[in-house]
Structure 1
């Protein structure tokens, strides 16, 4: 938003250079002139590209937001690395106004807003000066995408930084939202604006999504364009916005339209299980409404964490699963990336895993005539325990989504060198401790070692039909239709257990207060709506918003207890501040109009 602060000095340098022909002094090479560009649809498409590519900014989904921010804030991860104070603040849900992750998310999301406003400005310019009648339809498609993406960025900004969620009947609508830039700032003065109300913020989000749905009506992207925004993505996010503001009537109408008319269906469990590990065959599937399309590259050096800013996404570097060592021991095990995080034990129990911790014993099948190796280990998981663990899977005693989302030591495998499969190991830093030691699977890389080949082509889902079903269930509950709410929760659960989605099954809930499989969980243990959103969307970047809008922070802190990176100290949760992130200090230093508008208790 402070683009003019950057380019005014650049323009001074250019003018001072006169007619010298050194290319470095002629003009900025990363901006386009606004007096004659865009002149073609192709030009206008090029202006749209940064609105999409911004998703992979270092502060957002391709890098920091998922593994360092959200996985720790929600305690999906048990992080071993305690040397990053900002990271530790995320784990404790006790943020400072100078937290660098908070600042980068803010800056990256507003860069996305800026990019979208540039597109809308460029579309108007092109239509007024160069477009032909044949260009009108494509101009509107480009506008539709820009409106959706701007709404998406503002949706995230409001959920992270807004003071409070709007409640049924409009309560909290006068609380502080975020600064709204409805158009590209014409000068430095117009960048100086204060925070709008939460109602004004959600009105802009909903209005943009309504425009996007109208402009993209009937558009069907194919081939290389299939990752673009559609009418149904816009309606799905609009329905989500209505749920998040407890506008139950509008939510039900819009979400049911998506369910009945988008042509989307829940994929089979078999396909679902392999849709989060970089399987190209599962991309843009029958359930996907909007996903971040990522092609792997091999630029190396850990992307922006290693001074290679244009590398592909790398959450899997932080979420790296562990492989048994070459000599067949856990002590010699190694991660397929960094060794920063494993799955927090309480998540294993929340998925209903009923067994205690395993022991390592002598391998009854060890062949002493051959060297010890991961194929011929001297020690193994207790065979009796392994048999019981396999029975848990076969009998679906635990939620099968546990094994979609995580990797279990000794029972699951990773292709540690890109060719050979070895059993998953408990992380070395957990050996000797009473810990399950599960690794990440959903969103991670299990097909090669990212240390040797830093390339992760996993697409990231932003919206899929299962989320829509769960939102529709919540809207039905909010409007008093509990029967419909239970049925849509059951549709999602049936898929997870391998039953037909639309027929009654043995695992169905009978009420909205029925028991779930969550073990020793006073909140999710008898709340199917909460549990299903947690289990189905585990580690997909949604749970933090649910925790905040339902205000269950203290119970989450009590359930998870502690983490390694905070030295085992008990989690706390400050309800007077922790549901909202602080407005970054840098914004107060550059935007005079926001003075005095910090979130409470920061």
Structure 2
């Protein structure tokens, strides 16, 4: 693979605006001509599509965003691969200005903004030059989608790269946010823009989402259009933006509107437990508000790195599970992909799993008259340990969401051929010295575990990615309620989420209900032990790209770093309140934009 070094300047210039041509020259065919495109409504929709498709780019959910950027920062995973300095920096919360993942994320997000800006420019052009009055509602719907997408990209940019969130009293609003670029750049000079203040950026995001909700009001998508942005997606993200900046009074009614009027409900746990693993019947379900569609077909190419028109992603390469080898040993275990990351050991304890490290013992059922295989292994997990693990699942003394998120060695199974299944084993990429102190569970959420990923041209991902779902809205509403003195409502919506996880009816009291907002949780660490709201956001939305933003806006990073303590690839996790809450503006951007300033601490 090649490294992509682009600046904001490059990403904001798209359209070929036309010029006098020498008769011997040939016009470019890889760009639109802004003098005569689009001329039809389908042409206009084609300009909108890249704003959506960019979410599956290699820099974003196609490859890096969830399995590297979020998983590393949040310590969803531990990094078993030491060969990438930027990746190690990320997992140690100790990023430099030359970090390639910060650079790629910046590129991917601003490309999405460029795509949305392009559409809005072309929508105005088309409406003025070619449209009929009857097409106005459809054009405005698409404008609403583009504004939602632009706000979504800026939301991610500001949460990663903005110097501060804004407190209820307004503090932080004067810090440096990201540059707001809202039109197509016609020249290089137009890209030399400074950073806006955090208040300006968040004001822009909320205004965009308000306009998107208005333009999309009443819009319903079916068939091939399922998955396009809706009024409720815009309102859910708007409510989230208000919560993130402690505008509790504005957050409560908009989130309650989504809860009451969107028609969404929490899916039952029987569906939830498999809702992240590529089952077609679970896609665009009753809880989903906005998700990225992912298809397993790689069309013969290498996933998102293929030049084919893929709708797939390749994040499953990175955190693929491991299974027993053909000889029935963990030593010769088989990885279903690259196996760069495994489930961080400290997450077991947070979910309430406290059995310690498992040991292998002689298999009492081993048939010495037959070769040792995964069906006839010489050693197995201690049967007493396995029985205790199974009892914890059955009795739910461990949070059931652990088993949605992870695969337990010797208890869960996976397949490397799509037909036969064998036990998961301790993670094979783990350094030898750690195999007696780490259980090495495999990832399960958003992971392909029914086949070797290379049997699918390294593009075996099949699970759609939820960016907004109702459980998130419930917990945001609970947070807004708690911060406006309505503790009873806050507690009820926290408990609704927990009840679903434990298989109880959502709307009635249950044996697992928290009694108050400081009740004991499954976790034992200082950040989560007696904070049900924090714990439920961590456990419910685990590995979905939310927790890093929660850590930063609540400023609990030092506690997280102390809890997770180490990364296998790089030693001790670092933390500095002066810089670690903010990703650095990439050095490439500083070097190409004379108006750009670096964040404090870098």
1:188 aligns with 2:193: no
Q: Give the structure 1 partner of residue 437 of structure 2.
A: 434
Counterparts of 2:12 and 2:256, CA distance in 1 = 46
Q: CA deviation at 1:306?
A: 8.0
Q: Is the 8 A contact 1:326 1:374 kept in 2?
A: yes
1:361 aligns with 2:361: yes
Query: What stretches of structure 2 of length at least 5 have no aligned partner?
Result: 1-7
Q: CA deviation at 1:374?
A: 1.4
1:484 aligns with 2:489: yes
Q: CA deviation at 1:369?
A: 3.3
Q: Name the TM-score, length of structure 2 as normaliser.
A: 0.95
Are residues 11 and 284 of structure 1, via their aligned partners in 2, closer, same or farther at CA, if it must alter by over 3 Å? closer
- For residues 549-579 of structure 1, what are the alpha-carbon distances to aligned partners after superposition, in whole Å with 9 as ceiling and x for unaligned? 011111101100101110xx22120000010
Q: Is the 8 A contact 1:300 1:311 kept in 2?
A: no
Q: Give the structure 1 partner of residue 559 of structure 2.
A: 555
Moved more, 257-266 or 306-315: 306-315
Q: Give the structure 2 partner of residue 291 of structure 1.
A: 291
Higher helix proportion: 1
Q: Name the TM-score, length of structure 1 as normaliser.
A: 0.95
Counterparts of 2:429 and 2:293, CA distance in 1 = 34
Counterparts in 2 of 1:167-316, with a 5 A limit?
A: 167-299=167-299, 302-303=302-303, 310=310, 312-316=312-316
Q: Give the structure 2 partner of residue 2 of structure 1.
A: 9
Moved more, 298-307 or 422-431: 298-307
Are residues 263 and 91 of structure 1, via their aligned partners in 2, closer, same or farther at CA, if it must alter by over 3 Å? same
Secondary structure of 2:566 counterpart: coil
Q: Give the structure 2 partner of residue 408 of structure 1.
A: 408
Q: Give the structure 2 partner of residue 449 of structure 1.
A: 452
Counterparts of 1:280 and 1:542, CA distance in 2 = 24
Secondary structure of 1:593 counterpart: coil
- For residues 119-144 of structure 1, what are the alpha-carbon distances to aligned partners after superposition, in whole Å with 9 as ceiling and x for unaligned? 11111111111000111110011000
Q: Give the structure 2 partner of residue 542 of structure 1.
A: 546
- For residues 346-394 of structure 1, what are the alpha-carbon distances to aligned partners after superposition, in whole Å with 9 as ceiling and x for unaligned? 0011000021111111112223333222122221111111111100000
- For residues 433-462 of structure 1, what are the alpha-carbon distances to aligned partners after superposition, in whole Å with 9 as ceiling and x for unaligned? 221111000011111111222221211110
Counterparts of 1:218 and 1:474, CA distance in 2 = 28
1:515 aligns with 2:520: yes
Counterparts of 1:303 and 1:260, CA distance in 2 = 39
- For residues 73-109 of structure 1, what are the alpha-carbon distances to aligned partners after superposition, in whole Å with 9 as ceiling and x for unaligned? 1111111111111001101111111111101111111
Q: CA deviation at 1:15?
A: 6.4
Counterparts of 1:532 and 1:498, CA distance in 2 = 15
Counterparts in 2 of 1:24-423, with a 5 A limit?
A: 26-299=26-299, 302-303=302-303, 310=310, 312-423=312-423
Q: Is the 8 A contact 2:412 2:423 kept in 1?
A: yes
Aligned residues: 590
Counterparts of 1:237 and 1:139, CA distance in 2 = 22
1:495 aligns with 2:500: yes
Secondary structure of 2:422 counterpart: strand
- For residues 186-241 of structure 1, what are the alpha-carbon distances to aligned partners after superposition, in whole Å with 9 as ceiling and x for unaligned? 33322221111111100110000001100110111000100100000000000000
Counterparts of 2:333 and 2:29, CA distance in 1 = 47
Query: What stretches of structure 1 of length at least 5 have no aligned partner?
Result: none
**RMSD of aligned Cα (Å):** 1.8
Counterparts of 1:302 and 1:421, CA distance in 2 = 25
Counterparts of 1:102 and 1:502, CA distance in 2 = 42
Counterparts of 1:293 and 1:310, CA distance in 2 = 11
Secondary structure of 2:414 counterpart: strand
* Correspondent of 1:583 among 575, 582, 585: 585
Counterparts of 2:291 and 2:17, CA distance in 1 = 38
Secondary structure of 1:525 counterpart: coil
Counterparts of 1:259 and 1:36, CA distance in 2 = 44
Moved more, 345-354 or 424-433: 424-433
Secondary structure of 1:342 counterpart: strand
Secondary structure of 1:592 counterpart: coil
Are residues 94 and 41 of structure 1, via their aligned partners in 2, closer, same or farther at CA, if it must alter by over 3 Å? same
Would you identify which runs of 4 or more consecutive aligned residues in structure 1 move more than 4 Å?
Answer: 3-8, 299-302, 304-311
Q: Give the structure 2 partner of residue 570 of structure 1.
A: 572
Counterparts of 1:56 and 1:397, CA distance in 2 = 38
Secondary structure of 1:78 counterpart: strand
- For residues 469-506 of structure 1, what are the alpha-carbon distances to aligned partners after superposition, in whole Å with 9 as ceiling and x for unaligned? 01001111111111111111100000000000000001
Secondary structure of 1:463 counterpart: strand
- For residues 115-166 of structure 1, what are the alpha-carbon distances to aligned partners after superposition, in whole Å with 9 as ceiling and x for unaligned? 1011111111111110001111100110000000000000001000001000
Secondary structure of 2:174 counterpart: coil
Q: Is the 8 A contact 2:54 2:112 kept in 1?
A: yes
Q: CA deviation at 1:588?
A: 1.8
Q: CA deviation at 1:29?
A: 2.1
Secondary structure of 2:342 counterpart: strand
- For residues 384-426 of structure 1, what are the alpha-carbon distances to aligned partners after superposition, in whole Å with 9 as ceiling and x for unaligned? 1111110000000110000000000011111221111111111
Q: Give the structure 2 partner of residue 524 of structure 1.
A: 528
Moved more, 418-427 or 225-234: 418-427
Counterparts of 2:111 and 2:553, CA distance in 1 = 25
Q: Is the 8 A contact 2:159 2:549 kept in 1?
A: yes
Are residues 7 and 250 of structure 1, via their aligned partners in 2, closer, same or farther at CA, if it must alter by over 3 Å? closer
Moved more, 569-578 or 304-313: 304-313
Counterparts of 2:345 and 2:263, CA distance in 1 = 38
